[in-house]
Amino acid sequence: MSTENELIASGDYIKHHLQNLTYGQNPDTGVWGLAHTAQEAKDMGFMAFHLDTLGVSFVLGALFLLFFYSIGKKMTADTPSGAQNFIESIVEFIDENVRGSFNGKNPMVAPLALTAFIWIILMNTMDLVPVDWLPYLAQQIGVFFGADPHHVFFKVVPTTDPNATFGMSIGIFILIIYYSIKEKGAGGFAGELLFHPFGKMMLPFNLFLEGVNLIAKPVSLALRLFGNMYAGEMIFILIALLPFWIQWSLSLPWAIFHILIVLLQAFIFMTLVIVYMDMAHQKDEH
């Protein structure tokens, strides 16, 4: 019986850590407020807001902009600081990747790649914060305002929320469509979908292939990032369920290995953004 209770407690622990702090409209009462259970959050539907995802990603994005802006104002060629050297090395790294993969002329691509790379690294890095720290802090804040601590959810890593990863990928997708039409013209873009790769006689087949290829771009961007970070978070949560004396022996090696995943996923997302933007600017076949 105790084993069964432990399993129930473990299941509740996992569900609690995977549930977002959701704000939306209760379908029964029509009142807007915070969801108290996972089912309530689900019933709120598509128009609900994940406040933890929005809050953490906004704060990290603001810190990124503030840090780069403050260092940029103090930049000097005579005696550069360590922070300036660090930023310059990142900018040079992004610039090399853009020059190696992007053949068009668009001054927005490099800043877009830089923003995606740094912002995703910061969001992914939240996975290295011990899983109980920020949820516990959120619970204490909730208790201060009179909330039941069991009804206060806080999901720490924005990139483990598909709403965040799809939000970024859809933004990139809109830019792909915009520049495809701008560079190739509406007719050229339509011709690419209708007549490539097998010519006019295979129009339905061409449209199917190119349509799937086009839609696969934002889907692959979003799901690759979400899947890898979600799996990493699940492992940290499962390690947290183990006895204390085992946790550190497992969590430290996994955290060190996870640093590679944090950086690699940001690099892959950035590289695909550059490649997709290059494809949107290609006009050779039109």
Q: Which of 20, 224, 249, 251 is catalytic?
A: 224
Q: Which of 26, 106, 163, 220 is catalytic?
A: 220
Judge contact between 218 and 162, C-beta under 8 A.
no
* Catalytic-residue membership of 99: no
- As given in the structure block, the two tokens for residue 148 are 């039941």
Q: Rounded to whole angstroms, how far apart are CA atoms 236 and 230?
A: 10
* Catalytic-residue membership of 220: yes
Gyration radius from the chain CA atoms: 23
Judge contact between 20 and 38, C-beta under 8 A.
no
Q: Rounded to whole angstroms, how far apart are CA atoms 105 and 278?
A: 9
Instruction: Return contacts of 268-272, CB within 8 angstroms, 24+ apart.
Output: 268/224, 268/225, 269/116, 269/117, 269/120, 269/168, 269/221, 269/224, 269/225, 270/94, 270/97, 270/113, 270/116, 270/117, 270/120, 271/97, 271/101, 272/217, 272/220, 272/221
* Catalytic-residue membership of 228: yes
- As given in the structure block, the two tokens for residue 231 are 């799996």
Q: Which of 101, 169, 228, 251 is catalytic?
A: 228
Known catalytic residues? 220, 224, 228
